[in-house]
Structure 1
């Protein structure tokens, strides 16, 4: 089914396709997979799939089975518990529910909007999905208008001012579009200032509030928006730094031309989110913002090793590992940017990786992690820019140190051996263990004794072979394959 199908088609799903899902429990599992990573199959890919009704059949089966309200509750619960690894599948599923013929399902989905759309980007994405599902016609009913207006009115003036100036548009929508289409009427004076700024610009705010006796909250919002506007036009470096520090302005609110200044970057560093900081470590070192032995390097090292800050920012060890490996490489993946990795920053990243492991929540299940060391582990891991040995070592270390019952083994050429991972082992030590056990080349033969066809082996991979049935000639084929003849 085309994801841009009109609303009446959304409630009509191919019966044959639905029957293939079996019982509703199977559909519920499919739904949870879809909400987690955007696919109902048992395969997670680091490459995101396109989202459409045709690949969300479990979702549609549950809705068509009069369980639409339960589906919305599951979408909401899944996100509030932090189970969704990608936000867009849940937003798409919520948009589908909001378009359904069942009134209770539509109402429940609109009520859940504020829980799923915590940022402007998520709100814009949800609205765009609704537009695609309705082909842009008649989507702005009373319920959606009220929900969007409530999204803006539910925030205090300063929070709204910060968020709308950091993310102005996404997915083809802007704040001005949503305010106009939702007929939004501010219920708070400070929010009204922000709405005026969105619809009429800074000039409109000045005309309406500059000469008025304003409340303390309104005045704070006015001063903040004034600082944002001054930062856009500022030509004096010291004045810009003062604005950044006084109003805690962030990188998204600063013009790219201002980011050529080392001092401006240093001012931004003080309040920079950890995820953004990790991403820019190489550039900051290359541009000498982070000079060896400087107070700025010391401050950065202290921040990225702060366990409470890592926990608050929900920084996963793998994200730190990627940042660390990229930084140690000394050059950008695609750009010409190059730098000499700072020793203190490298040590801080290693420490941050170890400390961030404690932020991972254990499942309490038994784990057996088996690492294939029959061939080189130096290839780049799909979905990131780090080596496969680094990825394997990180997975082993995180699972071994967070799960109470975990065993690590390595295997090659039919041999399986334990890999010792103590509570105090370091990332480099476990990576060294894996490297020492590599180098043996292996091949895979899949023999289906009663199969008329197989498709396990990659036809482009000389190390894989499928055999259907078995006879004396098959034994010779296996021998030739083992000897690299074929």
Structure 2
């Protein structure tokens, strides 16, 4: 009798072989393909900067751009709405992917899609930097027609004149573009004396008396011979941003004290190293008290759309005592380090604990150690540790494990919110690399009689090394324990794969480092 069942099984299939509805992934295994809308969501949050283990930056960007274009062709209004939702909700670590996707929408074949994209321009491109990025991206997909010029003109006309002046002095050039370039393309017309004077100053360098006071303050700050006390007075009187000051004044303590008083939250987080090096942030100083108060203000953090990853990267950099680039060095202040650690959790949306028993499984295989999440300095495996701690900080019953491949490839990890975030992230960096078997968490729990209500797997879904597919392992766990366990897959690379079966209501695929992800996970587990 020929053993057909040993040659083909829908219950225990090696991951190197397909099961129904799976496709080959980049690692040589098989996983479920995600649809274009999931790919769009992943790209908007995670981007493609730095590439991944299996795809270079250019290839990953092209694949994601193709998915964005397919979404725009299928339902342009829905795609533009998704871009706006991620951008306005502060759900992505960096604005670049949303700006790039909006530029693709502005060059779409559908007139309605182009109109929707250009109408959304001020909602997605809120700063001069954003607008310059959009201009650089949109030129690659369309010409400067009347509708595009009009939309750019409205960007300068619709915001209050003082807000337009602030962008003019803060961001003077990026991505090969200047405000002068865009104003000469758009030709916005205005009867407002202050706005007309602002445009004349940008385009011709003519500083009229009617120009906004901030422009006059900028001109005074750029004058030769200005001393630190004079610069500090200008900053306090006109709220000049640090970008409007000559570089030579930025090391001055009195100037940095003045800047700190009115510094926006995002700029404050990015400038902590420089503020500390200048002596403004020091043990028990008023500057430190101000920084801690800002980082402890939940409403202010959320209103600023400060993404948790910005805080995590700031924590990692600040605690190291030196900048990623350049020679700037400082002695970290413990109170600021702890405030950054707490602010990371605060920046996520409030989540009510589910009361479920959770296995938080971190993929620490070789592929998770390559690439950078959302263009940050974090690898996917480091980002996975941070995301897992957000859930652990909310829930009461959880176990964190790290897995690669092989029978000994799973290890319980002593990670939890009591461990400082940067230390937890660093701990995963020291774990050994290996192959990928995303079925290991379920197999491990079943072999040890661990009763779990859900498995939350943080991975790139490039699984290939196991004797059974992850979905098969979960279904076996359900059958043998009688627990209707759920599976949440937190994707940390913007590729086209997931280990979650889209036809199983007990499985969910979410985008890693989406600021809304912890709340989405909790709602799914609670249902």
* TM-score (norm. length: structure 2): 0.63
CA RMSD of aligned residues (A): 4.4
User: Are the aligned partners of 1:358 and 1:402 in contact in 2 as well (CA < 8 Å)?
Assistant: no
Label 1:26 to 1:167 Cα distance change in 2 as closer, same or farther (>3 A): same
Label 1:248 to 1:43 Cα distance change in 2 as closer, same or farther (>3 A): same
Partner of 1:347: 335
Paired residue for 1:171, among 165, 175, 180? 175
Q: Which has the higher contact order (CA 8 A, sep 6+)?
A: 2
SS at match of 2:141: helix
User: Are the aligned partners of 1:140 and 1:182 in contact in 2 as well (CA < 8 Å)?
Assistant: no
Residue 196 in 1 paired to residue 200 in 2?
yes
Paired residue for 2:389, among 370, 394, 397? 397
1:437-452 aligned at under 5 Å gives the runs: 444=435
Deviations 1:328-373 (A, max 9, x none): 33344454444333xxx31232134224413312677875322479
For 1:53 and 1:428, how far apart are their aligned partners in 2?
37
Residue 222 in 1 paired to residue 212 in 2?
yes
Partner of 1:330: 321
For 1:157 and 1:439, how far apart are their aligned partners in 2?
52
Deviations 1:232-291 (A, max 9, x none): 115233222111101111101101012232211221111123333333333333343445
Residue 76 in 1 paired to residue 80 in 2?
no
Paired residue for 2:221, among 207, 225, 231? 231
Partner of 1:104: 112
Partner of 1:262: 253
Label 1:333 to 1:355 Cα distance change in 2 as closer, same or farther (>3 A): closer
Partner of 2:163: 159
The answer to which of 164-173 and 193-202 deviates more is: 193-202
For 2:251 and 2:318, how far apart are their aligned partners in 1?
20
Residue 35 in 1 paired to residue 63 in 2?
no
For 1:144 and 1:229, how far apart are their aligned partners in 2?
31
Partner of 2:302: 311
For 1:52 and 1:385, how far apart are their aligned partners in 2?
18
Deviations 1:43-64 (A, max 9, x none): 7999965787665223333444
User: Are the aligned partners of 1:410 and 1:418 in contact in 2 as well (CA < 8 Å)?
Assistant: yes
Paired residue for 2:185, among 181, 185, 189? 181
Deviations 1:218-239 (A, max 9, x none): xxx5322211110111523322
User: Are the aligned partners of 1:153 and 1:188 in contact in 2 as well (CA < 8 Å)?
Assistant: no
User: Are the aligned partners of 1:393 and 1:427 in contact in 2 as well (CA < 8 Å)?
Assistant: no
Q: How many residue pairs get matched?
A: 398
Partner of 1:252: 243
1:279-318 aligned at under 5 Å gives the runs: 279-318=270-309
Label 1:74 to 1:35 Cα distance change in 2 as closer, same or farther (>3 A): same
* TM-score (norm. length: structure 1): 0.67
* Distance apart, 1:68 and its partner CA: 3.3
Could you list the runs of 5+ residues in structure 1 that have no partner in the other structure? Answer: 1-23, 210-220, 447-464, 469-486
